[in-house]
Chain A
């Protein structure tokens, strides 16, 4: 039992902090900090800066650009990145399909895809959810039928985040509709988004943004060599991928930054002649969230310290559950500090309403997603009740 970081980890943290705050373009970090939508070019530029320094995919195998870091170092890397408002390496590339290809892909697939995936030369999107397959992903109905050297894909995916920027999709498809268990008849295919028969329809979200899409497949032909691993084993790869998706999903550094912003904004608003930041109720609300966030960060540190053996710590579901709740609490706090200004969402640059107040409510509404994606919080409760409490 020891409180402080070792001198090596302390030095590592300083190195990360210095890099993130000096090497990633300020304009991109400002955009993240201001909750603006990033352009594709900004995502790509940031990831290439990280990749050039070996900081885009540290959790990959070393031969494909990974770093032999401890779980604690990975945690520090991620938190410092969020604190510095650096856009994280695109999750679909770095956390999802990259590790799947590195683990289950053929040598040819690794060589073809991994360097381009790390550098965001290929932008991936995720073809998992369908209109009738959300939390119950195994009920997916998009089919792939073998025809000569190709698979022919028909069906529909939804909630495809940033699909409008994507070059390729990794897509779960049903290849054996007769399998005795529905999980057994699923495969994982990779194909370009500009393949004939792929169409994309953007879905407008409550915040007015377009970050998710529906994707339709009509007789899309995919060469057989683009199937990952073995036919009908796609569910195993999907579970592996979703396990990785939950890593870092607590987003503690990001929530910390929102609380810092909240305190600063509260200083600039006057209520009955005194700064809102002196209101005892508001201070208590911030202090309570801060304390919960401290508990969450310490839990994350406990989890990373105990997950070196490869098996996730039982408390890791707590990270997703409470991490999402605290992100939402912070966005709600910002709306409440903005008060009457919070309705002026799209007032624009000519308005006296500051940008943070304009984006507060759209962000709050957008962040309702965080307790839904990555395994909804109800799914996390089911995991805790079932695998931890034995209920």
Chain B
């Protein structure tokens, strides 16, 4: 059991943190970036690609860096720390992860190589209105058309769905869930993008007999693979949330040290400092669970269960820290002109993208009787 980072991992953190600190030195820079489509900075995206960050988890033979989940976690934390809007978890960990897990040699070479170079952004089109957080598709269907396939139905909301160059789409085939690749310029594809509360972008994506290529060569149900890729994304989001929670707390502590009311700085009020102390407790407990879960991924353990534990712990922590960060600031915390509220907004989005705390708790509760104790060391 070892929780420290090696020199290379620390070097990666410094490099990514340096790059993002220049891109998002203050809250205003992020505000202006997210004000315009595609909701992130293409130049920063290219620089991340030049640094090798966008190909980190992929095999070298696929054009990636062959790094592990710990390196991914380091990047996700730095993304969260400055609220960088670049879709690292969405494109690299989730959509890229599915292609990496399931794609044919040709698909992996085509998608992952270009993703690593920064020339292609993939997105996972999976969510449908009327259902939530399932690994299977319901409303979008796929049917065979000669040698090819065509998709019909609507996916919504699809994170970065309007900007994406290629979509990984889940669809129903004979009651099973299968994955398909759809090119951004495919016929019969209508994408309507919009801004989300946290500054990111989502889209309504409509398929009307849209040509699609099956992802991988298998013919069976792929929902287990979706579950696993989403589990890794939940853990990576846990790290993004950690970075964001840490900044929300340090920003709040700094505010308490400097803001004066009743003639004294706010840190003279124990009612406030005790609440900040409780935020620290939530942060450190979440950090422990999230770091552990990344080690579970690294050791190829039960990633799905570990991700549920991360979701529950970070959901509780991010709601606690996000809400208290605003309350301890007072009115300024609710403004878009000040940084801290944006952290709460992003934490709220992360909490709902792939399953919230109660959703994870229900899953953990279902199996609570199947073990005597939880042993993190396995």
Could you list which residues of chain A lie within 8 angstroms of chain B, going by C-beta atoms?
1-5, 9, 72, 83, 256, 259-260, 263, 267, 277-278, 280, 283-284, 286-288, 290-299, 301-302, 305-306, 315, 318, 321-322, 378, 380-382, 384-386, 388-391
Contacts and interface: CB of A to CB of B under 8 A. Distances in A.
B308 to A, nearest CB: 9
B338 interface: no
B277 A298 contact: no
A335 B252 CA distance: 39
A389 B266 CA distance: 13
B285 A322 contact: yes
A92 to B, nearest CB: 28
A288 B361 contact: yes
A297 B281 contact: no
A295 B365 contact: no
Contact of B365 (A3, A286, A294): A286
A294 B369 contact: no
A283 B277 contact: no
A2 B369 contact: no
7 tightest A-B CB contacts, nearest first: A298-B288, A3-B295, A385-B273, A283-B365, A384-B277, A295-B285, A381-B277
Interface string B245-281: 0000100010011000000000100100110111011
Main secondary structure, interface of A, reads: helix
Contacts of B285: 292, 295-296, 299, 318, 322
Given A1-B5, A321-B281, A385-B277, 9 more contacts: A1-B294, A2-B295, A9-B1, A283-B369, A302-B3, A306-B4, A315-B284, A382-B273, A384-B281
Contacts of B9: 1
B337 interface: no
A389 B277 contact: yes
Contacts of A306: 3-4
Interface centre among B1, B3, B273 (most CB of A within 10 A): B1
Nearest to A281: B365
Contact of B278 (A296, A381, A386): A381
B362 interface: yes
Interface centre among B4, B6, B274, B280 (most CB of A within 10 A): B280
Contact of B281 (A259, A283, A318): A318
Contacts of B278: 381
A241 to B, nearest CB: 24
Interface centre among B267, B298, B368 (most CB of A within 10 A): B368
Contact of B289 (A284, A294, A388): A294
A391 B1 contact: no
B368 A290 contact: yes
B281 A5 contact: no
8 contacts: A72-B1, A260-B372, A287-B368, A291-B312, A298-B376, A302-B291, A382-B274, A391-B276
B2 interface: yes
A3 B281 contact: no
Contacts of A318: 280-281, 284-285
A298 B281 contact: no
A391 B253 contact: yes
A298 B253 contact: no
Interface in B345-371: 361-362, 364-366, 368-369
B312 A301 contact: no
B278 to A, nearest CB: 7
Contacts of B287: 299
Contacts of B284: 299, 315, 318
Given A294-B376, A378-B274, A391-B256, A305 B1 contact: yes
Contact of B280 (A72, A288, A389): A389
A321 B378 CA distance: 26
Interface centre among B249, B253, B366, B377 (most CB of A within 10 A): B377
B241 to A, nearest CB: 14
B2 A1 contact: yes
A286 to B, nearest CB: 5
A296 B278 CA distance: 14
Contacts of B257: 390-391
Contacts of B368: 263, 283, 286-287, 290
Contact of A4 (B1, B256, B288, B362): B1
B309 interface: yes
A373 B14 CA distance: 42
Nearest to A302: B3
A390 B253 contact: yes
Interface centre among B288, B298, B362, B378 (most CB of A within 10 A): B288
A294 B368 CA distance: 13
A352 to B, nearest CB: 25
Given A256-B373, A389-B280, A3 B366 contact: no
Nearest to B278: A381
A150 B298 CA distance: 64
A3 B301 CA distance: 10
B364 A1 contact: no
Contact of A291 (B273, B276, B298, B313): B313
A362 to B, nearest CB: 24
Contacts of B378: 3-4
A322 B276 CA distance: 15
B2 A305 contact: yes
A296 B313 CA distance: 11
A71 B215 CA distance: 49
Contact of A2 (B2, B253, B280, B361): B2
Contacts of A315: 284
Nearest to A259: B373
Contacts of B98: none
B369 A263 contact: yes
A301 B3 contact: yes
A1 B376 contact: no
A2 B374 contact: no
B237 interface: no
B298 A284 contact: no
B361 A287 contact: yes
B298 A389 contact: no
B172 to A, nearest CB: 29
A290 B374 contact: yes
A294 B309 contact: yes
B106 interface: no
B156 to A, nearest CB: 30
